[in-house]
Amino acid sequence: MKYKASCHCGRVAVEFEGEIKEVLACNCSICQRKGSLLWFMPRAGLKLTTPEDAASSYTFNEQVIRHRFCPNCGIHPYGEGVDPKGHAVAAINVRCVEGIDLDALTIKQHDGRSA
């Protein structure tokens, strides 16, 4: 299925394909504050529909995940990083995906605080 996601004001927008069934709720210091529900996919499959420089980045701790957010409205539609096998991945905040039924998703809890 093809999806579109964006920040609140639309300055940062992406498209991607896949089947979102299970998402991750992480309790690390940033995800808990953002309230993100994350779905991971290969970074190559994420298409930016707005200029890359429309999004700002925030990194912390080990500096391996680029949390991408809109500098205008502050919403975090996606992040970028590398999985344990060294593959580039995107973490989509499914709360920013148009038309998705959040109640239909399985939410897996991840203890990022202890990791």
Q: How confident is the model at residue 6 (pLDDT cuts 50, 70, 90)?
A: very high
Which residues partner with 109 through β-bridges?
25
Does the pTM surpass 0.75? The reply is yes
* Domain ranges within the chain, ordered by starting residue: 2-110
Model confidence at 62, pLDDT cuts 50, 70, 90, reads confident
The domain defined by 2-110 folds into: 2.170.150
Give mean pLDDT, residues 44-53: 97
pLDDT value, residue 60:
83
Residue 44: what pLDDT? Answer: 97
R_g (Cα) of the chain, nearest Å: 13
In our burial notation (b when 16+ CB lie closer than 10 A, e otherwise), range 97-107 reads beebeeeeeee
